[in-house]
Structure 1
């Protein structure tokens, strides 16, 4: 009996292996799709909840305490640094960075797809931010503004765009087959840049901390959503019959 059971299990394993062998290469993509889908759903839920609580006392106290703490460090040196960083997160800054990325990607990969992906997520983040600002209509803080601003406050366009653009750039760098020390260095630099751009907006007095949190969350949702779409494309590109409606 034991011998027969052992043979049956062995045959069954062999059957499963043959049956699902063609899907082995897609498993990493499918797992990524599942994880990113969950993150997108819960990210949206968190953003909506945060937005609904913008005018609560708890969030107001959070904004006040964090803003006071960060602005207490104001100095000529830090002001110069954060003004530079906030400029990097503006239109001219992205023009320079996208131009450099385009040149490097073409030289090393001979492919424009990465540039198109970066431009796509940048456009998505910018356009959706403008829409969200108009829908939510939150005014800027009344603190002293160290830079000129003309748009509404929530979510922070600088924080949202920085997270979306540089966050996706970090994802691309993770997928590149390059020197691990160079990869670690680039990821560290871009992570610091994302955080610095967000903090700069509070330091310069033009955003509430909750604006930055909302911007980061919204930008991160775009990063994960684009990763989700790219992995779906990879699955369907390898096997056009993946979707079978009948």
Structure 2
């Protein structure tokens, strides 16, 4: 199924990778310009924090927990395996697992402390990039590629895509709103996720035949390249 879906264009992949590298360099250099950008947005986002909005943001950030992203990926992979799309199932788990490792490595490289003010939910660990955002972007792309793209109605497809985009935006907003991340952390996570997905799609195409040789022996041509 995945090979029949449009991949992330090279232009977007390289642009995302460049923007992530730029933000990483700015964080490592303790850029005053980046800090002004971050604090300016934080002050706007946290200017008014009514109880009901805070409760919604807490719910959003809980649903988007990285540990739950693993659960979501396992469920998606199980459905794909049941559909006898076994290379796709393996790729889904490998992409999320490998992505988590990549994001962790960059956290250790950046070693950026969390914001020190107005933390609604105390967080530990380093701040850059946002694990919640990174996982949310990967899961949304999985859903679009594997399921939304299979809906016959173009209108329903568009509605689903809009809802999923709104979800990613809410996750990014919630992390800043709750004081868990700087805005640059969530933007960096988005860019990293897009770049990583492009790499993962390239690896999928490169190693598809090798993996399929072992797991697609009874797929009855479902993964034909033609």
Sort the TM-score into its range (normalised by shorter chain). Answer: 0.7 to 0.9
After superposition, the Cα gap between the structure-2 partners of 1:224 and 1:172, relative to the gap in structure 1 and judged at 3 Å, is: farther
- In structure 2, relative to structure 1, the CA distance for the partners of 1:112 and 1:235 (3 Å cut) is closer
**4+ residue stretches of structure 1 with deviation over 6 A?**
234-237
The answer to whether 1:83 aligns with 2:58 is yes
Q: Which moved more, 1:64-73 or 1:186-195?
A: 186-195
Under a length normalisation based on structure 1, what TM-score does the superposition of the two structures give?
A: 0.72
Structure 1 contact 118–165 (Cα < 8 Å) conserved = no
Bigger drift between 57-66 and 46-55 goes to 46-55
SS in 2 for 1:53: helix
Shift of 1:170: 2.1
1:169 aligns with 2:146: no
Could you say which structure has the higher helix fraction? 1
Determine whether 1:64 maps to 2:36: no
Q: 1:215 to 1:95 in 2, by over 3 A?
A: closer
Structure 2 unpaired stretches of 5+: 211-223
Asked if structure 2 preserves the Cα contact closer than 8 Å seen for 1:40 and 1:224, the reply is yes
Structure 1 residue 103 displacement after superposition: 5.8
Q: 1:190 matched to which residue of 2?
A: 164
Return the match for 1:207 from 167, 171, 181: 181
**Structure 1 position 98 matched with structure 2 position 73:** yes
Contact 2:78 2:89 in 1 (8 A): no
Measured in 2, the distance between the counterparts of 1:137 and 1:161 equals 19
Task: Answer yes or no: is 1:143 the counterpart of 2:113.
Answer: no
- CA-CA distance at 1:83 after TM superposition: 0.8
Q: Secondary structure at the match of 2:9?
A: helix
Deviation (angstroms), 1:95: 4.7
CA shift, 1:49, in A, is 1.5
Q: Deviations over 1:2-34 (max 9, x none)?
A: xxxxxxxxxxxxxxxxxxxxxxxxxx98xx67x
* Superimposed CA distance per residue, residues 186-241 of structure 1 (whole angstroms, 9 cap, x where no aligned partner): 322221111111111100001100111111110111122223333455799849xx
SS at match of 1:146: coil
Unaligned runs of 5+ in 1: 1-27, 240-246
Deviation at 1:128, TM superposition (A): 1.1
Task: State which structure, 1 or 2, has the greater radius of gyration over its C-alpha atoms.
Answer: 1
Equivalence for 1:128: 102
More contact order relative to length (CA 8 Å, sep ≥ 6): 2
- Aligned in 2, Cα 1:95/1:230: closer, same or farther, shift over 3 Å? closer
Equivalent-residue separation in structure 2 for 1:59 and 1:155 (angstroms): 14
Q: How far has the Cα of 1:141 moved from its partner?
A: 0.7
